Amino acid sequence: MVIPHMPVDYAKHLIECNCVLPQFKYQTPLVYHRFVVFSVVGEDALVIPSYAQCPNCGIVHRVMEVGKSVIMRREELNSLLTEDEIAKSLPTSLADILRQYKVDYASWQQAKFIIENELWGRRITLSREELEGTVMGKILIIIGHTLWTVERYEKGSNEVG
């Protein structure tokens, strides 16, 4: 049996399901639903295999690489933590901020990982919008176990990064 390497970092990335959102049902070519997942990365820089559930159709995916998954043909996996279960492992005011901004499931997992692994200074995107070539939004910066800040950001179309 191979023992997975200790987690050292994480990645949030998109995977593709085989379902289609209603607004794309009649589009040609067919546009499959993609959603953000959270993956733990080991010291060997490889994704530690995990499972994710499509927020559109509920099908379970086995995530083994960044950007790639295998559909497990299962519509439920009770061993996946719910947002409420993750919230109970976080400081109440941090969970309240995540709920207020209605962040995706991957962001809940990210917050839990940052707190558990003391990765202070990491950022979680709370909101993002684009207006006339300018991208703006808010980020949550976790500074310590009970210390974080919400900051606004803005990037113009002529800025790099």
Give me the pLDDT at residue 5, please: 53
Q: Mind listing the pLDDT tens digit for each residue in 89-100?
A: 999 999 999 999
Per-residue b or e along 65-83, where b marks 16 or more CB atoms closer than 10 Å to that residue's CB: eeeebebeeeeeeeeeeeb
Residues of the chain with pLDDT under 50: 1-3, 160-161
Give me the pLDDT at residue 3, please: 45
Sign, CA dihedral 12-67-37-28, equals: positive
Domain boundaries, the chain: 7-71, 83-155
